[in-house]
Amino acid sequence: MQVGLHAWGSDFQRLADHVRSMMDEMGSANFFRSHAPDTWRPRINFYETADRYVVCVELCGMRPEDVDLCAERGKLRIRGVRPRPAVPADPGRPDAGPAATTVSVHVMEIDSGPFHRKIALPPDADIEKITASHHQGYLWIGLPRKGGEARGAGRGG
């Protein structure tokens, strides 16, 4: 069986993409980690509508005043410090205060501590009119397009 160079290149590219994806997954899932990292990266979604860009940042357990948001020179910077969740004395009433006894940890997957994210913004994002709101553990950031021009949603792949 003869394999053409084009087919080999495609297969090789798919393999390279798969290996790169596995390495990214191992790094982001803290595959080799046995303790909490010094810093972490909150997960984000980046959306586009006809007249604006919208960024959603997963920040469960944080208060809005503990997040620093800055947009400048085509970048959106989000940083802060998320406290480690404390085991409540009464899990049915988390506001009752922390448990008074020693707690053993079996699994710790919720990241805490300082974080820092930078996101490149499209050139038509109007950073002078940025808005932000915090709802149910998500930070929602709105960036209108400069001049209010409407375009079709979707940036392609």
Residue 88 has pLDDT above 90, yes or no: no
pTM of the shown model: 0.67
pLDDT at 68: 95
- Spell out the domain ranges in the chain: 1-32, 40-148
Count of Cβ atoms closer than 10 Å to residue 131 Cβ: 11
Among 157, 135, 112, residue whose Cα is nearest residue 54: 135
Q: Which of 95, 64, 94 is nearest to 80 (CA)?
A: 64
Q: Which has more confidence, 38 or 128? A: 128
Beta bridge partners of 125: 145
Average pLDDT over the chain, rounded to whole?
A: 81
The topology (CATH level 3) of 40-148 is: Immunoglobulin-like (2.60.40)
Alpha helices in the chain (DSSP H): 5-28
The pLDDT score that the predictor gives to residue 47 is 97
Choice between 20 and 4, residue whose per-residue pLDDT is larger: 20
pLDDT score of 146 more than 80: yes
